[in-house]
Amino acid sequence: MIIETISYLCTRCQSANIYKNGHNKSGNAQFRCKDCGRSSVLKPKIKYTEEQKELMINTYLERGSLRGMQRLFGVAPQTLMGWIKKSKQQEIE
């Protein structure tokens, strides 16, 4: 019998001293680091490509509503607003 063990590290401090800390709204397992206190998901389910993010941001900038964006693309309004704020900061720099 072959037994495979996977050891995970904290995404911030790279410590192996982490423990399972429940689940988030998407159902992903959350982990908490005992050293730095960061709580994060090790394997997020939903990933958006840069092209998808750009399409959503451009649709919003063309006067699309947040609720319409949520229905159309399935993205949370808070996530979309975070992307828009980041894109505006990048334009300034």
pLDDT in tens, 1-23: 888 888 888 888 999 999 999 99
30 and 13 housed in the same domain = yes
| Domain membership of residue 70 as a residue range | 50-92
Q: Evaluate if residue 45 carries a pLDDT over 80.
A: no
Mean pLDDT of the chain: 86
54 and 85 housed in the same domain = yes
80 and 66 housed in the same domain = yes
Average pLDDT of the residues in 41-53? 82
38 and 12 housed in the same domain = yes
- Name the pTM for this structure: 0.53
Number of domains within the chain: 2
Per-residue pLDDT tens digits for 76-91: 889 889 988 988 888 7
User: Do the Cβ atoms of 33 and 15 come closer than 8 Å?
Assistant: yes
Q: Evaluate if residue 46 carries a pLDDT over 70.
A: no
Q: Is residue 76 part of a domain?
A: yes
pLDDT > 70 in the chain, percent: 98
Mode of pairing for the β-strands spanning 18-23 and 29-33: antiparallel
39 and 56 housed in the same domain = no
